[in-house]
Structure 1
């Protein structure tokens, strides 16, 4: 008896193959359709396929940043790019296999949940290059044709935590994580260290939305967790929870407290509450991965980006940082300089 997950995957592959046939893909695109973006005028220098994380485009965070990097590679490097938005967990490997079977120059999976899928497909297609954002290597390490794109999220979280400690009037701040995994623990660890660096007596209240990937798309749970932390005294709440963070912003708005965004500048999500955002330059990682493939210098292994590499930052300039008092920004910038110089080591757990 064929398993239901396999059936879903096979149906996806069939649907996607039809999309790429002449005349296919016309009309209104479905969630699982592959979209191909034409490069700038001139011969394309590489063909790249990207499969988004579970929330897909429009999350105003992680996936949207990956999209920006992909479009920049198209516009600046001449790459021919395509992308997929999977609707089911079974779609991830099917999407990767579809792109690999077309012998693209680079196939990218966006999100840690792709890690094992990328490894499996990469071993089946050893002559295709793969990259995975937030890659988590298995016991055997990455296959030689896989580049794991990772970040020192704890460093950016440290900086926004320092800002939270300086801004808090109650001496209590909050953290809302998505899925309870080591990756999100890095955000929490850095945030706590940053708070303590500027407010040693501050108390950090932490909570997680769940233990499965669904924890990243549960705004109702995010709002409940944020309100619980506010009830405990928190007047600044930082989230690292994907779409669940929309609920954190709502809770902050209703309780008249401040919130801190993640991955991208999330000020426009709720201007009335966003203090700043921890920015993870997924766009830079995707762009550089494509460029390495174009320049024939792609290498497998783990590439880690932090504050020093301009892969991690926080919003501290312009109108979106208007709620950060100059004295707060000045102190946080001193701490940033310490991270770059190596005099401050930020804990990752």
Structure 2
């Protein structure tokens, strides 16, 4: 199996703004609710010799969160689907769409098929390059705006998972004061905030909620700046919050450090960060909003191996098990019954979780 992390292929980071794709749901085909895979699958003939290209968002493999979840899906696929090769590349903060396009174009022209783009920053580049290579299958995580006959949109109900996290934060807070740290203030991360606020207020209508975004588009360093994350969370703890949730990618490490210093609690995102974060901060992570990017990436690669790739939106929601909360460490054992009650009410439709802030 290939284990090496590949660097940039040809283009270096360029200055300029990134035009970001819309994060709201939509697309050229009706959305289908995904059913995450269970267990191992045997390799199909179409998988043999497949060369997979995977383009990470800012932070790349090793961010202990969003990108690492995608990497886990690829790592699972290598032996189970018999991939011949996997090439991994990553984005740099501040680069232009042209740089992303060129990377994707080099993968496609180099025989990599399928190609998976991790994050909505690839929206425009994926749409353009996929049109140039109609025989190559593309998938993009967290974006519904890039549409085409050979593009699969892997989407998640982040607001539903974040509702459970908001409820957990309010139930765990002794000061009736919690916080939310967002990486970049874009529609996708606002979905996390909307669900978190709704969940916290469902538990305690008068709960105080602090919100801080680390950067504003077109500046996307908020997804990979632990120092900014620590500063923002420290401010919240100093102001009286005792539980802080982050949706900030690699910046979350700083939030955990702030929680440890303040003797407070933190909540992770995307991966079960009580397992993936630095060992010295894992004890302050009460739970994480799990977003099963690994499952979505594996499902897409598996569908390619069997010739069953579908274009358009594939939605991984709470009902499908695409989002959830983690229980590592046992810190939510005392409130698990209440969280599961909320989960069932969301799944049944009794509770409709907002995906936008008011």
Q: TM-score, normalised by structure 1?
A: 0.84
Partner of 2:136: 128
Q: Does 2:299 correspond to 1:288?
A: yes
Which residue of 237, 242, 247 corresponds with 1:240? 247
Cα deviation code 1:230-282 (max 9, x no counterpart): 12211000000011111111111111100000000111422221100010000
Give the match for residue 335 of structure 1: 342
Q: Say if 2:5 and 2:61, in contact at 8 Å, map to a contact too.
A: no
Aligned to 1:197: 202
Structure 2, unpaired ranges of 5+: 11-41
Name the count of aligned residue pairs. 312
The correspondence of residues 305-320 of structure 1 with structure 2, limited to 5 A, is 305-316=316-327, 320=328
Q: Which whole-Å CA distance do the structure 2 matches of 1:146 and 1:279 have between them?
A: 25
The answer (yes or no) to whether the contact 1:315–1:321 under 8 Å persists in 2 is no
Q: Residue in 2 aligned with 1:169? A: 174
Do 2:54 and 2:88's aligned partners in 1 also have CA atoms closer than 8 Å?
A: yes
Report the alpha carbon displacement of residue 131 of structure 1 after superposing the two structures with TM: 0.3
2:148 corresponding residue in structure 1: 143
1:208 aligned residue: 213
Mapped partners of 1:73, 1:30: distance in 2: 18
Give the root-mean-square deviation of aligned CA atoms.
2.2
Larger radius of gyration: 1
Unaligned runs of 5+ residues in structure 1 are 1-24
1:46 paired to 2:50:
yes
Counterpart of 1:297? 308
Measure, in 1, the Cα distance between the counterparts of 2:162 and 2:212: 16
Question: Structure 1's 337 and 321: CA in aligned 2 closer, same or farther, altered over 3 A?
Answer: farther
1:128-159 alpha-carbon deviations (Å, 9 max, x no partner):
1100011140xxx6122111111000111101
The structure whose RCO (Cα within 8 Å, separation 6+) is larger is 2
Q: Which whole-Å CA distance do the structure 2 matches of 1:67 and 1:186 have between them?
A: 23
- Residues 176, 240 of structure 1: 8 Å contact kept: yes
Q: Aligned equivalents of 1:74 and 1:206: distance in 2?
A: 40
What does residue 62 of structure 1 align with?
Answer: 66
Whole-Å separation in 1 of the counterparts to 2:5 and 2:182? 32
